[in-house]
Amino acid sequence: MKLKNTFLLLVFIGASLGLNAQFHTALSRSEIGVMLGGSYYIGDLNRFGHFKGTQPAGSLFYRYNIHSRLSFRVNFSYGNVVGDDKWSKDPLLSNRNLNFKSDIFELGAGVEFHYMPFQLGSKKYRGTAYFLAELAVFRMNPKTQHNGEWIFLQPLGTEGQGTALGTRGHYNLFQVAIPLGLGVKLSLGKRASIGLEYGIRKTFTDYLDDVGADAYVDPVELAATSGPLAATLSNRSLDGSRYGKRGTAATKDWYAFFGVTLTFRLGNPNNCAFMQ
| DSSP per position, 142-185 | -EEEETTEEEE-GGG-TT-TTSTTSSS-PPPSEEEEEEEEEEEE
Query: Which runs of E-coded beta strand occur in the chain?
Result: 22-23, 30-42, 55-67, 70-84, 99-114, 127-139, 143-146, 149-152, 174-187, 192-203, 254-265, 270-271
Residue type, 110: G
Per-residue pLDDT tens listing for the chain (276 residues): 555 555 544 444 444 444 444 556 878 789 999 999 999 999 999 988 999 999 999 999 999 999 889 999 999 999 999 999 999 999 999 999 999 999 999 999 999 999 999 988 788 889 999 999 999 999 999 999 999 899 999 999 999 998 888 778 899 999 999 999 999 999 998 889 999 999 999 999 999 999 999 999 999 999 999 999 999 999 999 998 888 889 999 999 999 999 999 999 987 765 544 333
Q: What is the pLDDT of residue 210?
A: 97
**Count of alpha carbons within 13 Å of 2, Cβ hemisphere only?**
0
Determine contact, residues 265/31, Cβ cutoff 8 Å: yes
Q: Torsion angle of alpha carbons 226, 227, 232, 234, nearest 10°?
A: -10
Q: What is the pLDDT of residue 24?
A: 66
Q: What is the pLDDT of residue 243?
A: 87
Residue type, 173: L
Q: What is the pLDDT of residue 4?
A: 53
Determine contact, residues 45/84, Cβ cutoff 8 Å: yes
Q: What is the pLDDT of residue 269?
A: 64
Bridge-based pairing state of the strands 174-187 and 70-84: unpaired
pLDDT in tens, 51-75: 999 999 999 999 999 988 999 999 9
Q: Which residues contact 213 (CB under 8 A, 6 or more apart)?
A: 159, 166, 246, 247, 249
pLDDT in tens, 6-47: 554 444 444 444 444 455 687 878 999 999 999 999 999 998
Q: What is the CATH class of 28-267?
A: mainly beta
What is the chain's length?
Answer: 276
Determine contact, residues 200/179, Cβ cutoff 8 Å: yes
